[in-house]
Amino acid sequence: MKLVGSVTTCLLVVALLLTIGGEAQENVLTRVAPSMLECYENAPIFERDNRLPMTMNMLIELIRKVEDTPGFQQDIRQLAISMLHRFRQDGIVRAPGVTSMFGVIPFSPTEFQFTKHRVLFSRLLPGNAVNFPNATLSIDERCALHFMLSNSIDRRVRGDENIRCSQLSQYRAARVPRELDFKDRSRLRSNYLGDNEMLEQPEMDRIREHIKKIKHKAASAARLEMDPDEDHPDDEEEHPEANVEGGDEPQEEPIAIAADDEETGEPLEEDGALGEIGDVSLVDIASNAISACPVENGVVYTPWGSVMAGTVLAGIAAGLEPQTVQLRDLVSRTDQYRSRQVQPMRVDNRWAATLSGDLAEVSLLHAPSVANNVQVGAAGAWNRTVAPRWYFLSQREHLQMTDTEIRAGIDGLLLATNIAEWRNRANNFRLSQLLDMYYSHRGVFNDTVRSCNRRDLFTTVAPMQQLREQTVAFSTVLDKEMQMPFTITQEAIINFSDQATDALANYIPSALNDLSCEATAIVMNDPTIWRTASDLYIFIDAAWPHRDAYSVVSNILDSVDVGRFGTNYTILNARDGNVIVNSTHFLSDFHLTYTPELHQSLPNGLNIPNVYRRLREETNNLMSAERRTNSLSGRSKIALLIVHTDRVSEGDTNFAIQHLQIFREEVPDLRFLYLAAGDPGRFNRFVREERRDVFPLRELESGAVVDTVRVQLNPVIHRIQQEPRRIVNPRCGHDWIQENWGSNSMNQFVEPRGVNFYRLHPNYFFRQGENRRLRIQGHGFATLTVCHSRWVERPRLNTTENRESVQCRTINTDAYDIDLSNACDGHSVIHSCPSLYVSVEGPLNPPAVIRCSEPECRFPDNARFAIVLDNMGCFSSASRAISSLLLVALAVLALFKQS
């Protein structure tokens, strides 16, 4: 009986393990994985225009959110594997002629990408998603990860092809040779229009209705993704729109004029004829017709070319657990007799997950049908690069290895090859840190391994002989797994693999012409890494169309380092001052909250008293919190007003000028910026420096030449980046009453080639005080350069501006003291006494020993230092009485305007 009981127990354990294993490998099932069904069952969630933007910044934010989960213990390898098994399932497409109904989800992984996916995740990238913290993310965020990581191509005819595809065809029509002279500014010109935003189509709802009326049946309606009977947001943002925002991203297939447009920041002009509904081809969706410009899924935008995110993560996962598997161990026994007929081959999972995996699909699915004319690469374009969601391919054939897959294959292999070494240098290396470093100007522990250098690094990371061998090996494996309309011999596989490899080697230097590192530098000829850290209050005038307001704010937030390491933002209404998006450091909060429906419900216009009232409340709360937590801040404080054409009345003008002085006394760090339509000069009197703080904003579709969002916003983004970070005496609070004296400090971090700029207002050192000083204390992480000045806002060692007024020295474990005991001697009023400006600059190269492992480290090679304030005071001519009068005046004026 004991034996029988033991056997029964063993069988139960085995059955349980098999069950767990089956669940762990659910993403290799031939149906949509159970955990991913939620993304297809809910029409609003599935609707592409409701999704979070498909950007690398958003992907990094979602990964970081998982890593910051309380109690989360997975290392970079475990997280990469669990994310891929939880969210990636390639080849999912819609079944033609099948509608959604109870118990039927008309989607399944039937496209060719799924075969490679199944081999990778069942044999070469083993693991599971059992311990993934699903509850950390909302359904919108979970589905965003699924759509970002899962590769497929939607070839169905949408009904907008005459508009979309005609735009793309011009990019394929001509090719501008690469400029090889890197001795002048011409090196900065992008020659390609790849990943460009295209001219917008008319509202797809109108097209749908037009087609439905003609066809008189649902089966012939031109759908985008969901059935026309399913829910679709009825808003102007639902589908790709009518503006080219060129210059936003490197462009792949140019014409000469388009290259000039990118250089000057001007968009391509819209052809009005394309906007006529009568030009749209009316095609029965239920037929087998293929779109002339299909939609590629699983693509994320980066400034240096869009990439297939799932491939990048697969490369990282393979590099963290590399495997070299003999061919006979990857094929079934019935196929081993063929594998023994060729020389022994081994499959490296790092190559199979990246370049050789995609090349194998080219070798088996494309090469046999083209007779020595193998083609790789397929350019594409976004509907917009501000909050991109639709990525259209410029061709409908030869899609086995698109440009996004080529970029991702190089990136993934680069990361896979180096990740083990990097992890040895930084024990607690995070996945979000790796992506944040690689897809930026700084690179991974140097300025060589970064995405803008991928084309130059290709031959180094992928030697041709090894690329050929790995392509042949994985093609041999895939041949045994893939259902194909023909049968090929091993000799043919070798031949086709060589052809595919040669095609890729020729394509990358000649056609994958993404923007260079120099072309996207923040400051010309300056390798400095600039990071923004701000408390940003954005007031939106709802008189702007939702599309314009959404595009402007999206672009700003995407450019100012939103996150717990940098910028915290709040979105408010410019009319009543009410909060639209609560204070947050997540980009997703804005995109999920600021919907067209919400925008329509907001009052239009600008009301300066209401804005000031709300700002007063917000800044009071912030300064009270700083007192409560003894925080010296470390972030700038900026109010940005995005105003339409409203003019300010004489009464409001007088009110603003009068109370700006009170703001200057009580909130000396607050900087007002105006981004305004019409004549922006009407706000010159409401800022401290009219030449720096007031910016024009034209209607995005106005005038003969339509300025792109990015071109218009670059000046205001640079202005936000330039504003020094605050250093405050937290003992002052919002009422400027100091009950005690002493020392306060905060830890700060700077990265290699990075620099932080700080400002301490004279409100904290106006009168004479004993032992009053600011100290920069090194913690021995790296050698830092510290500079200070009373006149130069951004003091640096090699500055050419007022060189004699800038003092610098280097520190490591020692400290740099700045005496402020009598710093305002000779100044009778606070405003005449200059502020103290300080910079802390990181080393040119990472330190030999990487030590930054605490949660506050954005990167492992950050250097920690401390800012210490000793015996600072609280000096402000604004008293509690004035503060109360301000609040009363604001309330009275608000009541007067309402009456």
The domain spanning residue 688 has which CATH number? 3.40.50.410
State yes or no: pLDDT of 328 exceeds 80: yes
Mean pLDDT on 666-694? 94
Q: How far is CA 595 from each of CA 210, 473, 516, 536, 549, rounded to the nearest angstrom? A: 26, 50, 35, 20, 11
pLDDT digits 0-9 by tens, 718-748: 999 999 999 999 999 999 999 889 999 999 9
Same domain, 695 and 802: no
- Domain membership of residue 271 (yes or no) is no
Mean pLDDT on 697-704? 66
Mean pLDDT on 2-18? 40
Q: Which two tokens stand for residue 814?
A: 């020692």
What's the confidence (pLDDT) of residue 195?
Answer: 53
Please give the DSSP secondary-structure letter assigned to residue 567. Answer: B
Whole-angstrom distance, CA of residue 707 vs CA of residue 703:
9
pLDDT digits 0-9 by tens, 287-299: 457 899 999 999 9
What's the confidence (pLDDT) of residue 72?
Answer: 93
Query: Regarding beta strands 773-778 and 863-870, do their DSSP bridges make them parallel or antiparallel, or are they unpaired?
Result: antiparallel
Same domain, 783 and 820: yes
Please tell me the least confidently modeled range out of 123-127, 330-334, 889-893: 889-893
Same domain, 745 and 704: no
State yes or no: pLDDT of 3 exceeds 50: no
Domain membership of residue 605 as a residue range:
529-723
Same domain, 692 and 745: no
State yes or no: pLDDT of 703 exceeds 70: no
- Domain membership of residue 223 (yes or no) is no
Confidence of residue 823 (pLDDT cuts 50, 70, 90): very high
What's the confidence (pLDDT) of residue 170?
Answer: 53
Same domain, 497 and 563: no
Same domain, 713 and 774: no
Question: Who contacts 72 (Cβ-Cβ below 8 Å, separation ≥6)?
Answer: 66, 133, 136
Q: How many CA atoms lie within 13 A of 33 on its CB side?
A: 24
- Domain membership of residue 705 (yes or no) is yes
- Domain membership of residue 145 (yes or no) is yes
What's the confidence (pLDDT) of residue 335?
Answer: 56
- Domain membership of residue 543 (yes or no) is yes
Mean pLDDT on 857-870? 97
Mean pLDDT on 65-83? 95
What's the confidence (pLDDT) of residue 229?
Answer: 32
- Domain membership of residue 688 (yes or no) is yes
Query: Regarding beta strands 694-696 and 670-676, do their DSSP bridges make them parallel or antiparallel, or are they unpaired?
Result: parallel
Mean pLDDT on 534-542? 98
State yes or no: pLDDT of 340 exceeds 70: no
Q: Which two tokens stand for residue 603?
A: 């009052």
Phi, psi of 693 (to 5 degrees): -115, 0
State yes or no: pLDDT of 343 exceeds 70: no
State yes or no: pLDDT of 895 exceeds 60: no
Mean pLDDT on 433-445? 97
- Domain membership of residue 213 (yes or no) is no
pLDDT digits 0-9 by tens, 610-651: 999 999 999 999 999 999 999 999 999 999 999 999 888 999
State yes or no: pLDDT of 655 exceeds 80: yes
Same domain, 751 and 716: no
- Domain membership of residue 580 (yes or no) is yes
Whole-angstrom distance, CA of residue 365 vs CA of residue 363:
6
Same domain, 476 and 550: no
What's the confidence (pLDDT) of residue 484?
Answer: 85
Same domain, 635 and 695: yes
What's the confidence (pLDDT) of residue 576?
Answer: 95
Whole-angstrom distance, CA of residue 102 vs CA of residue 86:
25
Confidence of residue 237 (pLDDT cuts 50, 70, 90): very low
Same domain, 541 and 648: yes
What residue has token string 């698109």?
402
Give the count of beta carbons closer than 10 Å to the beta carbon of residue 625.
13
Same domain, 316 and 456: yes
Same domain, 498 and 364: yes
What's the confidence (pLDDT) of residue 102?
Answer: 85
Q: Which two tokens stand for residue 287?
A: 């037929």
State yes or no: pLDDT of 883 exceeds 70: no
Tally of domains in the chain? 3
Q: Are 642 and 541 in contact (CB under 8 A)?
A: yes
Question: Who contacts 496 (Cβ-Cβ below 8 Å, separation ≥6)?
Answer: 363, 364, 367, 368, 374, 475, 488
Residue 156: its H or E element: strand 152-156
Mean pLDDT on 356-369? 94
pLDDT digits 0-9 by tens, 475-501: 999 999 998 888 999 999 999 999 999
Phi, psi of 755 (to 5 degrees): -145, 140
Please give the DSSP secondary-structure letter assigned to residue 104. Answer: B
Burial 767-802 (b: 16+ CB within 10 A, else e): eebeebbbebbbbebbebbbbbbbebebbbeebeee
Mean pLDDT on 353-374? 92
Q: How many CA atoms lie within 13 A of 142 on its CB side?
A: 17
What is the DSSP code string of 459-517? HHHS-HHHHHHHHHHHHHHHHHHS--SS---HHHHHHHHHHHHHHHHHHHHHH--PPPT
CATH of residue 781's domain is 2.60.120
**Chain-wide mean pLDDT for the chain?**
83
What's the confidence (pLDDT) of residue 337?
Answer: 44
